[in-house]
């Protein structure tokens, strides 16, 4: 055993290996009594370079058959005011106190506290130039872990109960952890940055869902949620769930790019603005929407598209019982409670009232009323006009027109008197017919008769004669010079209804057996048969039933095939028909296919779409089918109204076929091109086709 003799060194590196070529050397209190060789050099030559201060070196061994292992073991406290540089392993079984730089290139084991004032530098054992520094920084107001290797990660690892590591890691681009993260304070994300639920990379590409805040006042800004799934042209949903009172997770709201489904009722504490349709029922066959326009069928519309179903209104009565108050059906309208009309009411069909009806304004009746099983016509009902009291009371005070009445004294009749029986006057019996002959007389009848022509013989009138009353001809009338022209009563009756010169009027009339040209505004109120070619330059109104051989309009865009006398064949009114030429094509999943187009001038049109889809080879899964008219040839645009068939990714084989139909009103203000767009989401490519043979895209002008 050899001891070091009271030599103290400070500010010297201990490079992990003190090359002491001796066995079982113990140094206590740094006392050296004899010569000691370290690395072939007498330690007395370097003792001034090494100072030990309460350092016990025990059990340092050396295997002479191999190079010494660079290891430094200190069984007591290591304390220094200067730099510690260790080129190999360092083991300290007690505290390590250093107020300057510590550089350790090998494994370091410290079994007690580390007390440092400077920088702790840890080297990569494979490449010592790669280091991490730990130090305190006043400019940064705290301690700093500084990884000095570009592009490397900083890892923090911890084992779970199964022995697997959980990590928190980051580099200059991103932070990653597979730990459950709990934040007990605010989490602040700057404007226009995403919170990604899914996957993302450092180039800004992400999949799944995201949330961010866009700080402007556009309707697409503010707090924004995005859901693009895996970006593979598949429908992805955004779902909201809540636990109910039984703590069971319950779906409440689901949405995708096309629809929103609510599983719970909505409570709105303010108004609801809806620009589209409200669809009700399991098949969405009850539709509530607003349709603009001045027609009586426009405004707020409720459409019940289930055959034979009723539309009902319910209200709570005074006992909070739900009562059916109003019901509509294609066969009629039913009010189940007293009905009060405070405005003008018009019933053009049958109306049946089984309860009290209060009319506070005009009631127009264009058909019969059935009261107490008795039918009353509108004309009969009009007889009530002018009554001022109970009719039966007034009738009881009147003359009985069905039996004899005797009047004595002077009687004054202020209104019309109708006699159905004879009148006895001056002992002479006058029948009602005989009495009616007095009608129209203005003076003594006999005096007038004496001055009249005889009707039982021929009469000749010369000069100008004025007849102030009706003339009845039972024989011919001879007119002209010498009375050579004979006119029969039947021929004379043809003058009935004429209001001006007959020849002038006839010249202005059309010849129905040949071609005609109409240049003024014409109205045909009765049946007209046109057998020739007819040209209309101005407005023509037909209110009767008309048959046409050929009609020519100055506006060449008007098709005569649009006009018909048969109800609902095409249009009841005059209009233009425009039909597109459609092209068969193989569809690409998720992409729009332009099947054809039509050009519409300014006006009001009905566009009808029949789009046929078919599987042409193999089998494929189909998510949904869509068609619509659009002012864009590549996407849904303008006032497009979609027709969609949700097939929910079912599998279909070759020959499967679907036809989507729609019919909606469009009102272009200028000449506009409308494209027939179709779209489908499906699995296997090139297996779904748009079939033009079973499809149609056409428009009818109605105004």
The more confidently predicted of residues 549 and 366 is 366
Tell me whether residue 433 is exposed, middle or buried, using C-beta atoms within 10 angstroms of its C-beta: 0 to 12, 13 to 18, 19 or more.
exposed
* Highest mean pLDDT (candidates 23-27, 46-50, 264-268): 264-268
Last residue in a domain, options 331, 357, 379: 379
* Separation between Cα atoms, residue 645 and residue 660, nearest integer Å: 7
Half-sphere CA count of 374, side-chain side, radius 13 A = 5
Q: What's the maximum distance between 2 C-alpha atoms anywhere in the chain?
A: 190
> Is residue 539, in this structure, part of any structural domain at all?
yes
Query: In this predicted model, what pLDDT tens digit does every residue of 603-618 receive, in sequence order?
Result: 889 999 999 999 999 8
Amino acid 529: pLDDT: 62
Of the segments 35-44, 138-147, 352-361, 410-419, which one has the largest average pLDDT value? 138-147
Question: pLDDT band at 570, cuts 50/70/90?
Answer: very low
pLDDT of residue 161: 92
Q: Please report which confidence band the pLDDT of residue 594 belongs to, taking 50, 70 and 90 as the band edges.
A: very high
Q: What is the pLDDT of residues 91-141, one digit of tens each?
A: 766 666 766 666 666 667 777 777 777 788 888 888 888 889 988 899 988
- The reply to whether 495 falls in a domain is no
pLDDT in tens, 629-683: 999 888 887 666 788 888 888 999 998 999 988 888 888 999 999 999 999 999 8
- Residue 142 phi/psi, 5-degree rounding, is 165, -170
The phi and psi torsions of 352 (rounded to 5 degrees) equal -120, 120
- Pair of tokens at residue 324: 């059916």
Determine the distance from the C-alpha atom of residue 603 to the mean position of all C-alpha atoms in its chain, rounded to a whole number: 24
pLDDT for res 585 = 93
**Tokens representing residue 475 in the block:** 């024989």
Mean pLDDT of the chain: 76
pLDDT higher for 555 or 224?
A: 224
Q: Are 477 and 491 in contact (CB under 8 A)?
A: no
The alpha carbon dihedral of 509, 510, 511, 517 has a sign of positive
Same domain, 18 and 123: yes
Q: Per the domain annotation, does 352 fall within a domain?
A: yes
64: which 2 tokens?
């002479």
Q: What is the C-alpha separation between 23 and 604, in angstroms, rounded?
A: 111
The whole-number pLDDT of residue 499 equals 79
String of DSSP letters for 455-516: SSS-----S-----S----SS-EEESGGG-EEE-HHHHHTTTT--S-HHHHHHTS--TTS-E
Domain boundary among 149, 167, 187: 149
251 with 132, same domain: the answer is no
Classify residue 369: in a domain, yes or no: yes
- All residues at 6 or more sequence positions from 570 whose CB lies less than 8 Å from its CB, including other chains: 561, 562, 563, 564, 577, 700
546-553 and 528-536 beta bridge pairing: parallel
Q: What is the pLDDT of residue 194?
A: 83
Q: Is residue 120 part of a domain?
A: yes
Average pLDDT over residues 480-493: 77
Q: Do 358 and 263 sit in the same domain of this protein?
A: no
Query: Is the domain of 77 the same as that of 26?
Result: yes
- The more confidently predicted of residues 336 and 240 is 240
550 and 600 inside one domain = no
- Decide if 182 contacts 170 (C-beta within 8 A): no
In a domain, 277, yes or no: no
- Of 326, 355, 379, the residue at which a domain comes to its end is 379
Residue 174 falls within a domain, yes or no? no
Same domain, 332 and 254: no
- Considering the domain architecture, whether residues 539 and 642 belong to the same structural domain is answered as no
Structural domain count, the chain: 5
**Residue 59's pLDDT band (boundaries 50, 70, 90)?**
very low
pLDDT band (50, 70, 90) for residue 151:
confident
In the prediction, which pLDDT does 538 show?
58
Residue 269 has what DSSP assignment?
Answer: S
* Contact in structure between 576 and 700 (CB atoms under 8 Å): yes
What's the chain's length in residues?
703
Three state DSSP letters for 288-342: EEEECCCCCCCEEEEEECCCCCCEEEEEECCCCCEEEEEEEECCEEEECCCEEEC
Residue 316 belongs to a domain: yes
Q: What is the pLDDT of residues 430-445, one digit of tens each?
A: 888 888 888 888 898 8
* 330 and 242 fall within a common domain: no
Identify the domain containing residue 609 by its residue range: 577-701
> Is 546 found in the same domain as 597?
no
Across 374-378, average pLDDT: 88
Backbone angles phi, psi at 128, to 5 degrees: -60, -15
Where are the extended beta strands (E) located within 129-205?
Answer: 131-137, 142-147, 154-159, 165-170, 175-177, 195-200
Distance CA(549)–CA(139), nearest Å, equals 100
182 pLDDT above the threshold of 80: yes
Within this chain, do residues 581 and 644 fall inside the same structural domain, yes or no?
yes
**Residue 416: pLDDT over 90:** no
Q: Residue holding tokens 């140094």?
A: 27
Q: Are residues 588 and 628 in the same domain?
A: yes
| Residue 605 shares a structural domain with residue 676 | yes
Highest mean pLDDT among 323-337, 413-427, 504-518, 659-673: 659-673
* Mean pLDDT across 147-166: 89
């Amino acid at each position: 055993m050899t001891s070091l003799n009271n030599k103290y060194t400070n500010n010297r590196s201990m490079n992990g290996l003190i090359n002491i070529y001796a066995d079982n050397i113990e140094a206590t209190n740094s006392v050296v009594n004899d010569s000691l060789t370290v690395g072939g050099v007498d330690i007395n030559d370097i003792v001034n370079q090494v100072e030990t201060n309460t350092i016990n070196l025990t059990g340092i061994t050396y295997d002479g058959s191999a190079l010494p292992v660079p290891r430094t073991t200190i069984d007591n406290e290591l304390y220094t005011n200067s730099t510690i540089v260790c080129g190999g392993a360092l083991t300290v079984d007690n505290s390590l106190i250093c107020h300057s730089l510590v550089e350790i290139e090998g494994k370091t084991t410290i079994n007690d506290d580390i007390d440092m004032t400077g920088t702790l530098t840890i080297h990569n054992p494979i490449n010592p130039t790669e280091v991490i520094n730990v130090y305190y920084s006043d400019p940064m107001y705290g301690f700093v872990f500084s990884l000095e290797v570009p592009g490397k990660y900083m890892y923090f690892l911890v084992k779970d109960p199964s022995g697997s590591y959980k990590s928190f890691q980051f580099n200059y681009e991103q932070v990653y952890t597979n730990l459950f993260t709990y934040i007990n304070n605010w989490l602040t994300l700057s404007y226009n940055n995403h919170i990604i639920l899914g996957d993302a990379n450092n180039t800004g590409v992400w999949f799944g869902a995201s949330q961010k805040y866009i700080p402007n006042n556009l309707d697409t800004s503010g707090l924004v949620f995005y859901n693009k799934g895996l970006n593979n042209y598949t429908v992805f949903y955004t779902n909201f769930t809540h636990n109910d009172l039984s703590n069971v997770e319950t779906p409440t709201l689901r949405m995708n790019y096309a629809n929103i489904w609510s599983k719970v009722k909505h409570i709105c504490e303010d108004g609801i603005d809806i620009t589209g349709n409200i669809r009700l029922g399991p098949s969405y066959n009850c539709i509530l929407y607003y349709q603009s326009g001045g027609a009586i069928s426009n405004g707020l519309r409720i459409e019940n598209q289930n055959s034979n179903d009723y539309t009902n209104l319910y209200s709570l009565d005074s006992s909070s019982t739900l009562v059916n108050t109003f019901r509509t059906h294609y066969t009629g309208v039913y009010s189940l409670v007293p009905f009060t009309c405070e405005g003008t009411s018009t019933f053009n069909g049958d109306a049946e009232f089984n309860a009290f009806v209060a009319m506070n304004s005009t009631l127009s009746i264009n058909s019969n009323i059935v009261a107490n099983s008795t039918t009353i016509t509108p004309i009969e009902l009009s007889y009530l006009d002018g009554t001022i009291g109970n009719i039966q009371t007034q009738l009881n005070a009147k003359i009985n027109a069905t039996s004899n009445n005797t009047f004595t004294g002077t009687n004054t009749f202020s209104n019309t008197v109708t006699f159905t029986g004879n009148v006895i006057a001056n002992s002479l019996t006058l029948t009602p017919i005989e009495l009616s002959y007095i009608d129209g007389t203005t003076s003594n009848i006999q005096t007038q008769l004496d001055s009249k022509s005889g009707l039982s013989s021929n009469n000749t009138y010369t000069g100008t004669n004025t007849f102030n009353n009706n003339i009845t001809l039972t024989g011919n009338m001879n007119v002209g010079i010498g009375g050579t022209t004979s006119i029969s009563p039947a021929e004379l009756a043809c003058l009935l209804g004429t209001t001006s010169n007959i020849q002038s009027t006839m010249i202005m009339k059309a010849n129905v057996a040949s071609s005609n040209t109409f240049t003024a505004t014409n109205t045909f109120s009765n049946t007209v048969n046109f057998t020739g070619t007819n040209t209309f330059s101005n407005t023509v109104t037909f209110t009767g039933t008309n048959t046409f051989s050929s009609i020519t309009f100055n506006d060449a865009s008007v098709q005569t095939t649009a006009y018909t006398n048969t109800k609902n064949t095409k249009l009841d009114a005059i209009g233009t028909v425009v039909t597109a030429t459609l092209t068969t094509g193989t569809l690409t999943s998720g992409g729009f296919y332009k099947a054809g187009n039509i050009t519409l001038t300014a006006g009001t049109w009905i566009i009808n779409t029949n789009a046929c889809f078919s599987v042409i080879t193999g089998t494929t899964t189909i998510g949904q089918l869509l068609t619509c008219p659009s002012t864009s040839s590549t996407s849904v645009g303008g006032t497009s109204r979609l027709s969609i068939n949700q097939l929910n990714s079912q599998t279909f084989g070759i020959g499967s076929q679907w036809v989507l139909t729609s019919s909606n009103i469009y009102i272009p203000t200028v000449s506009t091109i409308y494209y027939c767009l179709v779209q489908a989401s499906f699995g296997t490519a090139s297996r779904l086709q748009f079939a033009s043979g079973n499809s149609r895209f056409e428009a009818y002008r109605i105004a």
